[in-house]
Amino acid sequence: MTLEIYWDIAFLKMAMFNACTLRLTNELVWNGAKSRRIVAGALTGAALSVLVLLAPICIWVKLPAELLCFACMAWITFPIKTMQGGLKLLESYLACSVCWAGGMILIQRSVRHLWGWSMNAGMVLILEPLMLCGGVTWIRMGRKRNRREGVATIVIGEKKMAVKALVDSGNFLTEPISGKPVCVLDGREAQKLWGEEDLFRVIPWHGIGEKRGILKGYPVPELQLELGGLVKTLHNVYVAVVPEKMAKEEGRDCLIISPKTLEEP
């Protein structure tokens, strides 16, 4: 039996599969990779996978070669800094890949069983974006109920300080003029990064059971956020400082980050 493989069709299918699974993985690990990096990673992974598929090598060589393709695709898409981050990313990507492939197979077989006809390529192209939107929405709804912890490094010129980071969907603070989301710094030690002469924005706030008030919001040129071993660098972020009389005791500084901050380009 002869099996014909059209490399252009294989490339397009793999590129679409990679793009969808990388997008879901990006949502799952809360990394905030830009769309152009996801596209570049998907196309690179598809090209390398086609080369491995068409190469006249045995299956035992193709398997590790496919792992190298994934490593290259992940390196292009995500800023992996640690082994822990790479393993976490691999775990999430495998979960998304299995769920995506299983969902596509289940839908196509259900359509064939219920209506007796097979889905053509056009129908699949329409179905995949709908599945992607559904998957992203489901992940975002699920993580609204969860908090994620990590480490945030505040960089202001030569000053640098690492504090505990908490991604909390309950943080709705925004800078009034630009509308950008605002991080909240709760603690005493990190407040030493700013002095009386530093310019700030007034950030209105209120909490449950608390009176309304204002916080001083300082622009931070660079904020390095590490979640699950993956590092994301944010630029020009506003950080509102909790007044010293309300702040936690020294050594318990915490930066409360809005999920919308991670979505900033």
Domain ranges in the chain are 7-143, 148-262
Q: What is residue 140's DSSP assignment?
A: H
| Distance of alpha carbon 210 from alpha carbon 81, whole angstroms | 40
Residue 242 predicted with pLDDT over 50: yes
Would you list the DSSP string of 101-134?
Answer: HHHHHHHHHHHHHHHS----HHHHHHHHHHHHHH
Q: Does domain 148-262 have CATH number 2.40.70?
A: yes
What is the structure's pLDDT at 208? 47
Q: pTM (2 decimals)? A: 0.59
| Distance of alpha carbon 98 from alpha carbon 45, whole angstroms | 17
Q: What is the mean pLDDT of residues 54-82?
A: 79
Q: pLDDT confidence of 31, banded at 50, 70, 90? A: low
Label each residue of 2-43 as H, E or C.
CCCCCHHHHHHHHHHHHHHHHHHHHHHHCCCCCHHHHHHHHH
What is the structure's pLDDT at 141? 67
Q: Where are the alpha helices (DSSP H) in the chain?
A: 7-29, 35-54, 59-77, 83-115, 121-143, 259-262
Report the 10 Å Cβ neighbour count for 29: 22
Residue-wise pLDDT for 70-113, tens only, equals 888 888 888 776 676 677 777 888 888 888 888 888 887 887 77
Residue 219 predicted with pLDDT over 60: yes
CB 173 within 8 Å of CB 182: yes
